[in-house]
Every structure is written in structure tokens, then in C-alpha cells.
Amino acid sequence: MACPFVVGVAAQYLQAHSQASPIEVGAAIVAGGAKNKISRNPAGTPNVLLNTLFLRGATLAPELPTLAPTTPPTLPITTIKIALHPSSSAYWLALAFSGETTATAKVEIRSASASTWSSFQPTNWGYFQFTAPYELKLPLSLRLTSSSGQELVLLNMITAFASPPIDVKTNYGVAAPVATPAPTPRPPPKQSGQPAGGVDTPACTSSPASLGDVSITQHPGVSRWWFAILVGGLNQQIGSVMIKDRGQIDHFSPMQPTSWQYYTFQPTAPLVAPLTVIVTSTSGNSTIFEVDQIEQGGIIRSGFQF
């Protein structure tokens, strides 16, 4: 059956080599054939498969070895984590982000009872904060936008206002594996001039009072509109802290305890120094401090113990 094919190849060869003898034609066809391609080749015959590439001056490409498939190495992928401020509530929420492939530039929120997105405000202490004009209903959805314009929608991501760091298991344009929760970041201190709005602030690093010395340390971010103190050196547990300024004759207002050992007070009108602070122990004993001026980081000491 191969004879008609061989005759056709011979005819094509003779078109380009009209003076070739039959022996030369046969030798050219054998030389240009594919070698060792025929299985069960009869003994004593060349193992050559007819091929026409040699007629066009081409040569057979060498047979490449078959390579085993390889698995590309798995690169580590980061995942975004969200830390809720400890003072977050249904009316005020602050979030800090870490692990983004690109910095987060814009944060929006949508309550379960809302149909539109509302924007967070960036702060200079690492958080995005949102003061709600209405009570937020859980769960809350977030829409994040990176500095390069990539958008990430996280539906029903926040299910509780008091929550450990949330691993969203994704990133801007990247599907991320499940990762272990990140440690809760230490919230940065309140900056001077930051509007007061119920933002609890961490303890500042100030020189401790000497042994037996009772002290009040004013927070570095205090102002006439927001006041926070740290009471140290007492030999009994604090039950309550009350405050009044010069404009109040006999009326004291309670200061609110925070998770960072500070007591905070947000007045309805600017505070006027001097301030009077009464610290009462759980056993009912009291000590009084006079704060002559509202001083960021200022320390007032008294040698009086309960």
C-alpha cells in the first residue's frame, strides 16, 4: 500500500532533480525519511517512515523528552484583618485595618436596616471612625477602596460590636487562605485637638507617682471639650470619680471609666479651670484634687491617702 505514496514523493523529487537516477531518488527518499518510527519492522529492512519535509529543504526536529508536570511553588498570601475599637457601639464605630496588599483609602458602612452606604472618616491615630445618626443594626457590611482604586465589598462582616480581630480571608484582588487571628493592636493615643465624641483613649506613658503618693495624670489629648485623667497611687479600689469646673457651684458630674484605666468626661459646654475632682473608693472614702489648669499630660499629686 505504501507504493503509491513513495511514487508520488519520487515524482516530486524528480521535478526538482530531473537528472537524478533511480538509485539517487531512492537514496534521497530514504535519507529524508523519519527514522525508527515503525513498530514491528521486518528484519533486514530499514526502519524509515516516508516523509516529504526534505523536499522543501526542511529537516525533522529532534524529538524532545517528555517532562513530568511540575506544580508551581505556593507563594504566601496576606489577608486583611479588621480590629474594632473597644468603645465601638451602635452609635459610634472605629476600625483599624492591617495586612492589605494596598493601603486602604476609603471605608464605607451599611447597616442591616439601611439601603445606602455611609462613609467613615480617617483619623490621625490609625483608625477610620463613623458616628451614626441612627442606631446601627447588625450585621454590618463594609465596602473598602484601596489607594489604587480597587474595591472590596464585605457583606455582613461585623456581627458584634465587641469582637476580636476579624480575618476577612481575602484581600484586594487576591483570594487568601484562612489565617490565624491577628493580635489586638494597641489603640494609639488621642491627638490634641481631636473632637471629643466618646472616644476612649489608652493610658499615656508618664512618670509614675512615688510610693504612697496619690496622683492624677491628665491625658495628652485633654481640652476644654474633652477631659480624661488617670488616678494612680491609691491604696483602695476606685468606686467613682466626679468632676466640676469653676462655672458649676455645687453640681458634680460623673466621669466614665474606660478599658484603659482612664476616667473620661465630655462636657456640654467648654470647661473652665480650676476643676475639682472627687475620687471615692469602693468603701466610701473620698479624696479631693484641685486642677488649676487643663494641661496636656499634666500631673497633680497629693500625699493624702484614703
Judged against a pLDDT cut of 90, whether residue 141 lies above it is answered with: yes
| Residues 108-139 pLDDT 10s | 999 988 889 999 999 887 899 998 888 889 99
Span 52-60, mean pLDDT? 62
Q: Assess whether the region 81-175 and the region 214-302 belong to the same CATH fold.
A: yes
In the chain, where are the structural domains located? 3-56, 81-175, 214-302
- Tell me, what's the pLDDT at 77? 59
Please tell me whether the overall predicted TM-score, pTM, comes out greater than 0.75 for this model.
no
Give the lowest-confidence range in 15-24, 76-85, 151-160, 193-202.
193-202
Write the CATH number of the domain with boundaries 81-175.
Answer: 2.60.40.760
Classified as helix, coil or strand, 177 is coil
- Tell me, what's the pLDDT at 144? 93
Q: Which CATH number fits domain 214-302: 1.20.210.10, 3.30.70.1400, 2.60.40.760, 3.50.50.60?
A: 2.60.40.760
Backbone φ and ψ of 41, nearest 5°: -70, 130
Q: Which of 68-82, 106-120, 287-301 has the highest mean pLDDT?
A: 106-120
- Tell me, what's the pLDDT at 111? 92
| Residues 160-189 pLDDT 10s | 988 888 988 888 876 434 334 445 455 555
Pick from 158, 185, 150, 21: which is nearest to 93 by CA? 158
Q: How far apart are the C-alpha atoms of 15 and 11, rounded to whole Å?
A: 6
Q: Return the H-helix or E-strand segment holding 25.
A: helix 22-32
Which of 9 and 148 is assigned the larger pLDDT?
A: 148
| Residues 89-99 pLDDT 10s | 888 889 999 98
Q: How far apart are the C-alpha atoms of 147 and 168, rounded to whole Å?
A: 19
Measured CA distances, 103 to 97, 158, 171, 240 (Å): 9, 21, 11, 42
Q: For residue 28, give the C-alpha cell.
A: 534521497
Q: How far apart are the C-alpha atoms of 225 and 197, rounded to whole Å?
A: 9
| Residues 215-265 pLDDT 10s | 788 888 788 888 888 887 777 788 889 898 887 766 888 999 887 778 888
Site of grid cell 472618616: 121
